[in-house]
A and B are shown apart, each in its own frame.
Chain A
Amino acid sequence: MNNRSIAPTFWDRFWRLANPKVFMGWSGRALPWIVAAAGLSLCSGLIWGYFFTPDDIRQGSTVKIIYLHVPTALMAINGYLLMFVGALVWLIRRQHVSVLAAKAAAPVGMVMTLIALATGAIWGQPMWGTYWVWDPRLTSFLILFLFYVGYIALWAAIEDEDTAADLTSVLAIVGAVFAMLSRYAVLFWNQGLHQGTTVTMADGAQQDNISNVFFQPLLLSMAGFGLLFLTLLLIGTRTEVRSRRLKVLQARERMG
Chain B
Amino acid sequence: MIQLFLRDLGLSVRSGGGFGLALIFFLIVVTLIPFALGPDQTALAVVAPGVLWLGALLACLLSLDRIFGLDFEDGTLDLLVTSPLPPEAVYIAKAAAHWLTTGLPLALAAPVLGVLLNLDFETGKILCLSLLLGTPALSLIGAFGASLTIGVKRGGLLLSLLVLPLYVPSLIFGAQAVRLAGQGLPYDVALVLLSAISLGAAAILPFASGAALRINLR
Contact = CB atoms under 8 A, between A and B. Distances in A.
The answer on direct contact between A and B (beta carbons under 8 Å) is: yes
Interface of A: 143, 146-147, 149-150, 153-154, 157-158, 163, 166-167, 170-171, 173-175, 177-178, 181-182, 184-186, 188-189, 192
Nearest to B161: A150
Contact of B165 (A143, A173, A188, A189): A143
B6 interface: no
A154 B148 contact: yes
Given A166-B215, A167-B148, A170-B208, A192 B176 contact: yes
A186 B158 CA distance: 24
Contact of A174 (B172, B180, B208): B208
Nearest to B187: A192
Contacts of A170: 148, 208, 211-212, 215
Contacts of A157: 149, 152, 155, 158
B176 A189 contact: yes
8 contacts: A153-B161, A167-B212, A170-B148, A171-B162, A177-B204, A181-B169, A182-B169, A186-B172
Interface string B130-156: 000000000000001000110110010
Contacts of A177: 204
Contact of A163 (B158, B162, B215): B215
Interface string B190-218: 10010001000000110010011001101
B95 to A, nearest CB: 14
Contacts of B169: 178, 181-182, 184-185
Contacts of B109: none
Contact of A189 (B158, B172, B215): B172
Given A173-B208, A181-B197, 8 more contacts: A153-B162, A154-B149, A163-B216, A166-B215, A167-B148, A170-B215, A185-B172, A189-B173
Given A154-B158, A170-B211, A171-B148, A185 B168 contact: yes
B152 A178 contact: no
Given A150-B161, A166-B215, A174 B173 contact: no
A85 B13 CA distance: 43
A146 B155 CA distance: 17
B176 A149 contact: no
Nearest to A177: B204
Taking each of A182, A184, A189, which has the highest tally of chain B beta carbons within 10 Å of its own beta carbon? A189
In the A-B complex, the 5 residue pairs with the smallest Cβ-Cβ separation, listed nearest first, are: A185-B169, A146-B165, A185-B172, A166-B215, A189-B172
Contacts of B165: 143, 146-147, 150, 175, 178, 182
B164 interface: yes
A174 B193 contact: no
A154 B162 contact: yes
A178 B170 CA distance: 10
A120 B158 CA distance: 28
Determine chain B's interface SS by DSSP, over half rule: helix
A77 to B, nearest CB: 16
Contacts of B197: 181
Given A150-B165, A167-B212, A170-B208, A188 B176 contact: yes
B166 interface: yes
B47 to A, nearest CB: 14
B166 A178 contact: yes
Contacts of A174: 144, 166, 204-205, 208
B159 to A, nearest CB: 10
Contacts of B205: 174
Given A170-B215, A188-B193, A150 B151 contact: no
Nearest to A146: B165
Contacts of A154: 148-149, 158, 162
B208 A149 contact: no
A91 to B, nearest CB: 8
A153 B158 CA distance: 7
B33 to A, nearest CB: 20
Contacts of A163: 151, 215-216, 218
B158 to A, nearest CB: 5
B152 to A, nearest CB: 5
A88 to B, nearest CB: 13
